[in-house]
Structure 1
Amino acid sequence: MPRLLFNFGLFVFILGCVAHAQLPSPFDVRIDHYKTGSIHDLVINTPRPRFSWKISNNNEPSQRNIEQIAYQIQLESIKVSAKDNLFQWDSGRIVSTQSIHVPYASRYDLSAGARYRFRLRIWTSIPNESSEWTEWIYFRTAIFNLNEYLTDNANLLWIGSTKINMNELRKEFLVPNTSPVRSAIVYISGIGYYQFYINGYNVDPSRKLDPGWTTFEIRTLVATFDVTSNISAGMNAVGVKLGNGWYSGEQLGIPTYGPPRLLFTLNITFQNGEQMQVLSDQTWSGRQGSILRDSVYNGESYDARNERVDWARPGFNDSLSAWIMADSLPSPVSEARNGQLVLQDMPPIRAGFDALHIETDMSNHERDYLKSMNLKYIQGASFRDGRGSVLKPISVSQPTVGIHTFDLGQNMVGWCRVRLRGLRGVGVYFRHAEILAQPLHSTGQSTGGIYTENLRGATQFDTYILRGDPNGEIYEPTFTVHGFRYFQVSGAPNPLTVDDVECPVVHSETVLKGNFISSSPIINQIQHNIQWGQLSNIMSVPTDCPQRDERRGWMGDAALSVNEALYNFDLIKFYVNFLNLICDVQQSNGAIPDVVPNGGGYPADPNWGTALPTITWQLYRHYNDSQILSTYYDHVRAYVENIRGGYNNTGLVNLAYQFGDWVPPPPQPMTNEHLIASFAFLHDVSILINMSQVLGKTADSQAYSAFYQQLAEEFHRVFFNTAANYYADGMQSAQVLALALPNVVPENARVTVFNHLLSDISAKNNHVSTGIVSTAQLYPLLSDNGHHDLAVELISSTTYPSYGYMFTNPYENATTIWELWDAPSEGPGMNSRNHIMYGSVGAWFYSHLAGIDLSSTGITIRPRMVSETKKHLLSKINCQLSTLYGLVQVSYTRDERDTVANSILMSVIIPPNTQAKVVFEPLFPGSRCITLLEDNQTIWSLASAEFTHVRNFAVERDTRTDFMTVHIGSGRYEFQVVWQ
């Protein structure tokens, strides 16, 4: 009997453990917006961080209505030395549904330069029990007053040389053996770029082109590294390589910039509490190393004969080089401009597999989907399966003797590693290009060479001189970066194959959080091109292009692409940094420039300056973080008031501009530039109203609402052509922008203006004549106003001008987005094949084709539907979006079941701790929903009810529009909606 009781008790215990293990639990924890699971050395730059987490459903999306009812966070300090005090904070059980941006609520700020760990657990409604604690998550805090800390140390110098190209610096130092090393923290800034070595090892090998680009005299970024595991008792050595980067006058022509320079401090704390420092000072020595020349635009020259393998190791002795004492150089920051040394509080630029983390992945599904739909595979490289982080050539040709031309199959940004074998002193030359040489007009055939004229002043040219290693040697550049698809090698001493070349993709570290695929091969290719184009243009700042002598932070490109970028990638830290750079160069009157950093051209064109309010607002939309609005509200308001000052002198009719609706498709002219500028002004006033309402600034909200109404009436009055019943000159852009602004076009004119727009598009055989500003507004405008069919027709076009033409024309097949609609027909002057400004349409894929809208009140799923007669254009979509709450997925199929015509099958996944409404539009004009099923069970029917609660579903029918809305909690849902 006792044995039976024991077994039964054990069985109950095991069941209890299994049940407890299956409880919804927190995962993917963030602190201060950083994903804790993907960062080895997590550094927080605030004394009062906030926490976010997702709630697991144990891979059972069918488990529904999971809601958090409480959480508990425990945080404690980690003692570094015997003198440290232990700090602990326990939130206790906090009854709250909040799982994002949860504040650290202790009475005491976290200490600067300290180590901590935290963990959390939650209680959910299913069941009402606590989850297991997460594993302890470790982080450290930065020195919060970093500028004061670094500038107050009189022994700490910026070092380098004005005498030689001193791009390798080193110092040896003795660590006493009196007490174990418990902590060794480095703060470093090497500008333009640096690479950092301790005892011969690159401390962070995938980290490249550091620090991030800034207006250096106002803000110079400093990185921090935990090198505790690299330091040992006895002699140690530190080595730093320096590159010119954006601090070079060659790049920007800024005469006050000069040679590279280094600021370095190593703080070692021992177990007994004693400390020691290693600082950049004139005890360091330096030389010109193997890099003879480096330039962002013009590439690198590298002489491998100058390599010194052990140069960053202790005991190194070099009898072949002249190492001289480093000079003290001026700080790059300007006291006159209140310059600051600031922690680089964003992910760094990385190369290869560490650059892109995958949070959503449909790679297997994508292949099956394309195969089942009999669709061709997408041109270019896929980063979803991991191979896209380091590309291998898909072919190699030899157009002339001694030249190898490699095709990567994908327009990319980075460089190539090349395996070479040859005699000492042999020079090998590398060139990079986006396309092959233009076809000969007589034959229509390419010569096989590469086309570099569109690079303008940027040569993208690297040189390598072999050291003569009989085992072979591998070269890859250090302080330059290239935009290219074709990689040409000249003078290689040995025949090269595709196996001798691999090319790491380089960009600011980020997470792929969005995936979109459909039954349309055209849309799939556009999505591919947008994602690759966006990755190509996040290089510590959002750039316009990655290949020619530009690559700058053009604000118009950043504003147009930010919504798309935030659907596809996790970039909140990246864009917050950019907002700070904009504010750095904002003038006292509120004006900002067209380009940031190193802004020029004050005041900005309104459609370029809109980057400040637009990025701020889009970050709030995607991350539901009102703190961002609070931080930048005054800057946005000052900017709007600056535009208002100009408006007071000119009115809208002559509002100042520089660029208008940039690069419409030739031969179309540009529409009225003052109307284009006025659109941006009204757009930004509207954003300011929204910001003020969220922040509860009632007076501002009322004042700017009244001002907006004044502007709206003036816009119509001065730009509307009463004789012709359209805006300005009647071009598409003018109608699109007027219609996109709220309350501008009077109701009695709206139908007429819309019909004129539609007629113009029809007269151009369903093609656009829009530039970058109006193209961004066109597709949502059509979809939201009953013309979704037309929007899908336009995006599906492959004839000029269209997105599809970029990869179906007879000249070249794009794998990123072109700068110009007619790139092959244009000259080299301004003709990038990797520009992101027209990538704005990518946001529409998520917001309208998949219909995902995120707001502070919940998730709305409302895919716009093409009509029955046009469903061949888009009969299926599948979209994943990883949000701060978890995965949102929308998948629909039209008329999959032969027995049921005029139906939609839709699968939806809603993450735990959220609510959603799913909206179904009529499939054709005049149709009504007759049956709505979920999991093959009727939850609403026209015959039985207008509004019903069945199986906890709330279903509503809008009798005016015949839209059907279902209110749901978290989980997986399988809907079928039948229309007649």
Structure 2
Amino acid sequence: MVNARRPSLFDVRIDHYKVETTQDLIINIPRPRFSWKIRVLNNVSQRNVQQTVYQMQIQSIKITQRDNQFVWDSECVVSSQSIHVPYTGQNNLLPSTYYRFRVRVWTTNSEEPSEWTDWIQFRTPVFNLHEYLTKYNALLWIGSTQINMNELRKEFMVPNSSPIKSAIAYICGLGYYEFYVNGNKVDPSRKLDPGWTSYEQRTLVASFDLTANITTGMNAVGVRLGNGWYSPEQHGKSGYGPPRLIFILSIIFENGNEIQVLSDQTWTGREGSIKHDSINNGEIYDSRNDRPNWTRAGFNDSLSAWIMPESMPSPLNSSRNGSLVLQDMLPIRAGSNALHFEVMTDNQQQGYLNLKDIDEIKGAKLTDGGILKPVAMWTSDSGVDTFDLGQNIAGWCRLKFHGPRGFGVYIRYGEVLTQPVVSTNLSTRNIYTENLRDAIASDTYVLRGDPVSEIYEPTFTIHGFRYLSIFGPPNELTLDDVECPFVHSETTLKGHFSTTNQIVNQIQHNILWAQLSNLMSVPTDCTQRDERRGWMGDAALTVDEALYNFDLIKFYRNFLNMIVDDQLANGELPDFLPVGNNPSKPNWRSNYPADPNWGSALPTITWQVYRHYSDVQTLEDYYDHIVAYVKYLHDIYNTTGLANFTVRFGDWVPPPPELMTNGSLIGSFGFLHDINLLINMSQVLGKKEDTEIYSTLYQKLAEEFHQVFYNTSWNFYADGKQAAQVLALALPGVVPANVRDTVINQLVTDINQKGNHVTTGIVSTAQIYPILSDNGHHDLALELISSTTYPSYGYMFNNPYENATTTWELWNTPLTGPAMNSRNQAMYSSVGAWFYSHLAGIDLSSNMITIRPRMASETKKHLMSKLDCQLSTLYGLIHVSYTRDERDTISNSILLRVTIPPNAQARVMFEPLFVGGQCKALIEGNKVIWSSDVNTMNDQGFSIEKDSTTGLMTVHIGSGQYEFQALWQ
């Protein structure tokens, strides 16, 4: 008989990889860490479930289970640890080896252990990949400086003297590549590979297990190359050069023999159907040059000249210790393979929010499979067919044509239609492309004349768009002839957030699509124009929001690696990545130094990854680089003081006609912010000396900040603008207690004088909502986020010109020129972190989960009467749902449902719903657990605290599902 209380395990992770969504799982470290989640069958009745013991086993696949020999058996370990559990075997895992792993646990709610997980297979690569690839003298980078050699092929014989044991390939094609074996594309949804880096410092290599793809007899591999970011067209004079390939396939047989297939001059190459490709400018594709079987053995081409490739120089700068490194993050993918959805537990607690509470969202749904179909089309007076996807995305379109051989089709992409919209006649409107600047953002396709139809899909370009126009199509097109995959770095949506406030719901939608659109192996600034860089300021401001919504630890650790690659010896950082700090490149130094709030990406991303994943290893890996950067800023400060501290961009793009506040104050904010993070890191890592040094420095700077920037005549900071007050208030210990209320009042007064609108740029906008919520003005914060008049988030999709489905770069986008005007930019998406941290109130910054939702007062509860938030953490699902409407027979009461995952603990905090409010009663599951009338404390097994100063009520709980009611008087 099955024990109904017996736990089971799910969502196992090895070295941060989700095993259930990762094909060909490659673990690139000899001592990985493991995580798992615990599921209990009845989470309603089972509370306070904690793990007590775990057991892990690793087995080499070459050792049969019959031998009962394990590489490692942890045996029973008395521990509650279920995240980042280290491999503690006596010996490191071996390189180039197949393993399998399983785990089981014991918990407090069952005498029996969980079932073992199924065996989870993974393999290790060559750990020192650079040394491995450079040891072969015959291994070459191959390509051509004479022709556009973008198709390369090689045939090879595999003897049948012994069965194939393994066939592992390592490949890098710069700038981009597609990989084929025996006529089939390897990993078809993988796009725009490898990830963009400072190639001379770190070039990423992918590995593929081809054991099932290679057969005895003749085989063939084919590689299609694209320019990518390695092209001079993308970088001007500082570009790298024509495409090139490095490749090695190692085939090992059961008898121990081994053969290698290397990239060398025995390959042949030609210019294929892609006549030109560019990230910004698009692709020219002549399908008459297609050779359908060119990646199959025995292929013979009588129509093309396949010639020997040249030996090409390595992209690496050996004098700067450049290296080939395994791409240890998920790749860019297209369509349904790009986005996974967190599997929630079967017995999920029902929230209060219903579908009837939520209006229709403008734009596409992420759950629709990652392929967008147009919602409308029209033919302009000039004969151009224009399609509207109804959603701004990053990607391209698959187009179905039927026409004569040699017929050319021109496709143009854009984010918005020409203005103004005085006429409802769409035939007079075309796509607007001026804001693309020098990016042509177009594709050209030449038909081969297929008698049925032919489908064109670009290969080595990416477009940011909502609309596409097809000029002179060969046949009459319909909506069914167009479908467009959404393209971004592969990730998992782990957060869900919705409320009865439809403005907030639309903002959340726009944030998700903007953030995903700008995950392109690096966190880019925009998707459409001639830029698309990894701007550090944008990355720093949005990382908290991004990590609430998406599983991105590998993505951001890769970006941190890029940051330290481009960090100079004195600790200095650039404004955007990758730079390739190469003195041989013209103007390379112009990208340094970073504005303090841009350089803050290094400490900020490191800290946020630690917060969201409790991953101390990330702090350890980048700590010394953060210290070096802070020392660099300190050296500048020793020359300038805070009064003249460095600034480059400041509080970028406040809404016109507002001017930016004091630049040195903004730069000083970045400096103090980073020192504060460094103090926090040093405390976590136990570096007491650093904690003392930087705490002393911070205290000195905090006093100086106030002395320098506080205007004693007017009792506010700098010029009194919102940004100055917000940034001062956001720094711990800067604003003295005796003037704090005055500064907050100045902020509130200015907001009111501006008609309840913000005047903040990207740095202070990220801080203003938390500051208001934390300082007694949550109602005002809700009014700001609910505004639909200029300037506001709501204005982006409630204006007479265009309705945004992603976040804008500028508050006044429709009313300003094209020079810097992206409709799909993530930097203002920072407010999304406030949705989770304050509106839902989920804080993961300590070992104990904090649930502290900020709620509107009774008079403003119409702004947000219901909320539902689900967040999948490494422990499992956190669910927060509240209502002010149901069972509310008494004013100033709330209903709050909370789910805490097994093996976790939490504190639920209830704030007074009005100034001076006192809790009358706390009820859980229809039972009174605290009452002010009888002062019943710790009833029903709960630990309850009341803060006599603030009126804040705190209930400590373990895992399980709860329904609280709080009554205030």
TM-score by length of 2: 0.97
Once the two structures are superposed, what CA deviation does each residue of 1:642-694 show, in whole Å capped at 9, x if it has no partner?
Answer: 01111110001111111010000000001100100000000000000000000
Q: 1:278 aligns with which of 250, 257, 261?
A: 261
Distance 2:421 2:507 in 1: 29
Distance 2:299 2:28 in 1: 37
* Corresponding residue for residue 659 of structure 2: 669
Structure 1 residue 723 corresponds to structure 2 residue 713: yes
Distance 1:446 1:873 in 2: 40
Distance 1:507 1:440 in 2: 32
Per-residue deviation, 1:444? 11
Distance 2:254 2:448 in 1: 45
Structure 1 residue 968 corresponds to structure 2 residue 968: no
Structure 1 residue 709 corresponds to structure 2 residue 699: yes
* Corresponding residue for residue 585 of structure 2: none
Cα pair distance change 1:85/1:210, threshold 3 Å: farther
User: Partner of 1:646: helix, strand, or coil?
Assistant: helix
Distance 1:811 1:912 in 2: 49
Instruction: Kindly provide the amino acid, as one letter, of the partner of residue 393 in structure 1.
Output: P
Matched-pair identity in %: 66
- Residues 312-331 of structure 1 correspond to what in structure 2 (within 5 A)? 312-331=295-314
Per-residue deviation, 1:218? 0.5
Instruction: Kindly provide the amino acid, as one letter, of the partner of residue 759 in structure 2.
Output: S
* Corresponding residue for residue 201 of structure 1: 184
Once the two structures are superposed, what CA deviation does each residue of 1:517-543 show, in whole Å capped at 9, x if it has no partner?
Answer: 000000000000001000000000000
Instruction: Kindly provide the amino acid, as one letter, of the partner of residue 647 in structure 1.
Output: Y
Once the two structures are superposed, what CA deviation does each residue of 1:812-834 show, in whole Å capped at 9, x if it has no partner?
Answer: 00000000000000000000000
Per-residue deviation, 1:61? 4.2
Per-residue deviation, 1:60? 3.3
Distance 1:395 1:842 in 2: 30
Distance 1:426 1:779 in 2: 55
Distance 2:441 2:351 in 1: 35
Per-residue deviation, 1:124? 0.3
Structure 1 residue 101 corresponds to structure 2 residue 84: yes
8 Å Cα contact 2:945-2:953 kept in structure 1: yes
Per-residue deviation, 1:271? 1.2
* Corresponding residue for residue 7 of structure 1: none
* Corresponding residue for residue 279 of structure 2: 296
Distance 2:711 2:383 in 1: 64
Cα pair distance change 1:769/1:340, threshold 3 Å: same
Distance 1:60 1:402 in 2: 61
Q: 1:457 aligns with which of 438, 443, 458?
A: 438
User: Partner of 1:821: helix, strand, or coil?
Assistant: coil
Per-residue deviation, 1:188? 0.2
Distance 2:891 2:55 in 1: 51
Distance 2:571 2:425 in 1: 53
8 Å Cα contact 1:516-1:878 kept in structure 2: yes
Distance 1:699 1:849 in 2: 38
Q: How many residues matched? A: 957
Once the two structures are superposed, what CA deviation does each residue of 1:372-398 show, in whole Å capped at 9, x if it has no partner?
Answer: 22x421100111x3x151101111111
* Corresponding residue for residue 807 of structure 1: 797
Structure 1 residue 923 corresponds to structure 2 residue 907: no
* Corresponding residue for residue 509 of structure 1: 490
User: Partner of 1:675: helix, strand, or coil?
Assistant: helix
Per-residue deviation, 1:950? 2.2
Distance 1:167 1:27 in 2: 44
Structure 1 residue 372 corresponds to structure 2 residue 372: no
* Corresponding residue for residue 578 of structure 2: 597
8 Å Cα contact 2:5-2:110 kept in structure 1: no
Distance 2:291 2:253 in 1: 32
* Corresponding residue for residue 564 of structure 2: 583
* Corresponding residue for residue 549 of structure 1: 530
Distance 1:444 1:502 in 2: 24
Cα pair distance change 1:747/1:753, threshold 3 Å: same
Cα pair distance change 1:627/1:361, threshold 3 Å: closer
Distance 1:813 1:438 in 2: 13
Q: 2:948 aligns with which of 941, 945, 959?
A: 959
User: Partner of 2:604: helix, strand, or coil?
Assistant: helix
- Residues 874-913 of structure 1 correspond to what in structure 2 (within 5 A)? 874-913=864-903
Once the two structures are superposed, what CA deviation does each residue of 1:333-356 show, in whole Å capped at 9, x if it has no partner?
Answer: 010111000000000000011000
Instruction: Kindly provide the amino acid, as one letter, of the partner of residue 859 in structure 1.
Output: I
- Residues 761-840 of structure 1 correspond to what in structure 2 (within 5 A)? 761-840=751-830
User: Partner of 1:758: helix, strand, or coil?
Assistant: helix
Cα pair distance change 1:748/1:369, threshold 3 Å: closer
8 Å Cα contact 2:381-2:428 kept in structure 1: no
* Corresponding residue for residue 138 of structure 1: 121
Per-residue deviation, 1:700? 0.4
User: Partner of 1:325: helix, strand, or coil?
Assistant: coil
Instruction: Kindly provide the amino acid, as one letter, of the partner of residue 419 in structure 1.
Output: K
Cα pair distance change 1:370/1:451, threshold 3 Å: farther
Distance 1:256 1:576 in 2: 26
8 Å Cα contact 1:91-1:105 kept in structure 2: yes
Distance 1:130 1:856 in 2: 28
Per-residue deviation, 1:63? 1.9
8 Å Cα contact 1:199-1:313 kept in structure 2: yes
Per-residue deviation, 1:400? 2.8
* Corresponding residue for residue 504 of structure 2: 523
Distance 1:646 1:935 in 2: 58
Per-residue deviation, 1:40? 1.6
* Corresponding residue for residue 170 of structure 2: 187
Per-residue deviation, 1:365? 12
8 Å Cα contact 2:352-2:868 kept in structure 1: no
Per-residue deviation, 1:256? 5.5
Distance 1:594 1:144 in 2: 32
Distance 2:57 2:744 in 1: 58
Per-residue deviation, 1:128? 2.6
- Residues 40-51 of structure 1 correspond to what in structure 2 (within 5 A)? 40-51=23-34
* Corresponding residue for residue 3 of structure 1: none
8 Å Cα contact 1:607-1:773 kept in structure 2: yes
Instruction: Kindly provide the amino acid, as one letter, of the partner of residue 838 in structure 1.
Output: Y
- Residues 384-463 of structure 1 correspond to what in structure 2 (within 5 A)? 385=367, 387-439=368-420, 447-463=428-444
Distance 1:924 1:761 in 2: 21
- Residues 834-853 of structure 1 correspond to what in structure 2 (within 5 A)? 834-853=824-843
Distance 2:850 2:91 in 1: 39
Distance 2:891 2:750 in 1: 34
User: Partner of 1:799: helix, strand, or coil?
Assistant: coil
8 Å Cα contact 1:361-1:515 kept in structure 2: no
User: Partner of 2:197: helix, strand, or coil?
Assistant: coil
Instruction: Kindly provide the amino acid, as one letter, of the partner of residue 594 in structure 1.
Output: D
8 Å Cα contact 1:420-1:474 kept in structure 2: yes
* Corresponding residue for residue 24 of structure 1: 7
Q: 2:469 aligns with which of 473, 481, 488?
A: 488
Per-residue deviation, 1:78? 1.5
Structure 1 residue 645 corresponds to structure 2 residue 639: no
Per-residue deviation, 1:62? 3.9
* Corresponding residue for residue 240 of structure 1: 223
Distance 1:127 1:361 in 2: 22
Distance 1:925 1:969 in 2: 30
Root-mean-square deviation (CA), in Å? 1.9
TM-score by length of 1: 0.96
Distance 2:891 2:36 in 1: 43
Per-residue deviation, 1:189? 0.3
Instruction: Kindly provide the amino acid, as one letter, of the partner of residue 309 in structure 1.
Output: P
Distance 2:103 2:920 in 1: 47
Once the two structures are superposed, what CA deviation does each residue of 1:413-437 show, in whole Å capped at 9, x if it has no partner?
Answer: 1000011111000001111100001
Cα pair distance change 1:833/1:329, threshold 3 Å: same
Cα pair distance change 1:498/1:250, threshold 3 Å: same
8 Å Cα contact 1:520-1:874 kept in structure 2: yes
Q: 1:39 aligns with which of 22, 27, 31?
A: 22
Instruction: Kindly provide the amino acid, as one letter, of the partner of residue 75 in structure 1.
Output: I
Per-residue deviation, 1:445? 8.4
Q: Which runs of 5+ in 1 are unaligned?
A: 1-14
* Corresponding residue for residue 8 of structure 1: none
8 Å Cα contact 1:439-1:447 kept in structure 2: no
8 Å Cα contact 1:79-1:86 kept in structure 2: no
